[in-house]
Structure 1
Amino acid sequence: MPNTFDNVLIGLVVLAWLMWRQLQVRRADRPPVVLLVIGVLGVASLGVAIAKTTPTTAAILLLAFSFVVAAGFGVARGYTMRLWYAGGTRWRQGNWRTAALWLVSFGVHLGLDIAVDAVNPVPGLGGASILLYLAISLAAQRLTVRSRVHEARRSSSSAA
């Protein structure tokens, strides 16, 4: 299992790459390949960490809370995305607010990592959850954007 520093470094690299991608103009209906890869890696990382310790109830509750926080930030970021229709396709692009929410979200997660490790007998459990945290946050953002796209379709079809 990578140590906490390695996990944070990996998380920062993935975060920077996600932020860069989200500031680009992209189709709103792209397949969730990146989300699935990060999610699988996140589950594997957390699974390995859990296998090496017996998490306390407090650690499990803090991890669950961090995943709820991740989803909340994802929903918020989903509303910062600019959406439009051109050439028969729905497009999306993040902005400075999207990037800022990613950074704040990552900082909050690091704080929760410290709290998880403080209540767990073997440190590293919090750091091992970074990729899963990012995947949950990305999934919530994706669902929010998709919901907004569907709402825009309904609005445009009822106006016609």
Structure 2
Amino acid sequence: MDNPTVNNLAITAVVLIWLLSRQLTERPLREKSPVGLVLVIIGAVETGIYVASHPLSWRDGALVVASLVVGVLLAAVRAFTVRLSVRGGRVVRQGTVLTAALWVLGLGQHFLIDTAVAAELGAVTVLFYFGVVLLAQQLVLVRRAAAVEPSGR
């Protein structure tokens, strides 16, 4: 039996594990990363398909937007838990345990909307959520890196 909620939760778990592994591994900070944008596009398409067959109330839409706003704020805070340093003339980044905890907290608050809105909305919008907050975190990291990097950007 094909259960969309179970499928979305499985995809969410895979994406979260992949994101956390990348966040906690030291690697060069790239000014532009396509991952966030790809997740936003896939998530927007998925959300659009869902909304086309399950119209949302104003309240549902407002709660999803509120979750995104909280997620972006947590992403900005999370960006300051990432260590930046210069190695071989490049800025490298590595998340901390607090970085991982803030990812889980952010995802948890996003799934709380499922308790107050149309069924499955949190699961359906999760890839869009991941993309938006990843782009927000990246923006803050790049701005922080400009102060760390000896030559500036």
Does TM, scored on the shorter chain, surpass 0.5? yes
Equivalent position of 2:148 in the other structure: 152
> Which ranges in structure 2 are unaligned for 5 or more consecutive residues?
none
Distance in 1 (alpha carbons) for counterparts of 2:79 and 2:70 = 14
Mapping of residues 1-160 of structure 1, within 5 Å: 3-29=4-30, 31-117=32-118, 123-153=119-149, 156=150
Query: What value does the CA root-mean-square deviation take over the aligned residues?
Result: 1.9
Give 1:6's aligned amino acid: N
Report the identity percentage: 34
TM-score by length of 1: 0.87
Displacement of 1:80 after TM fit?
A: 0.4
Higher alpha-carbon deviation: 28-37 or 138-147: 28-37
> Which ranges in structure 1 are unaligned for 5 or more consecutive residues?
118-122
Displacement of 1:30 after TM fit?
A: 5.5
Distance in 2 (alpha carbons) for counterparts of 1:132 and 1:157 = 35
Distance in 2 (alpha carbons) for counterparts of 1:16 and 1:8 = 12
Distance in 2 (alpha carbons) for counterparts of 1:82 and 1:128 = 32
Give 1:126's aligned amino acid: G
Distance in 1 (alpha carbons) for counterparts of 2:6 and 2:139 = 31
- Judged with a 3 Å threshold, the aligned counterparts in structure 2 of structure 1 residues 82 and 148 are, in CA distance, closer, same or farther, namely same
TM-score by length of 2: 0.90
Distance in 2 (alpha carbons) for counterparts of 1:23 and 1:152 = 19
Q: Do the aligned residues in 2 keep the contact of 1:27 with 1:92 (CA within 8 Å)?
A: yes
Moved over 4 A (4+): none
- Judged with a 3 Å threshold, the aligned counterparts in structure 2 of structure 1 residues 25 and 157 are, in CA distance, closer, same or farther, namely closer
Give 2:96's aligned amino acid: N
Q: Do the aligned residues in 1 keep the contact of 2:36 with 2:135 (CA within 8 Å)?
A: yes
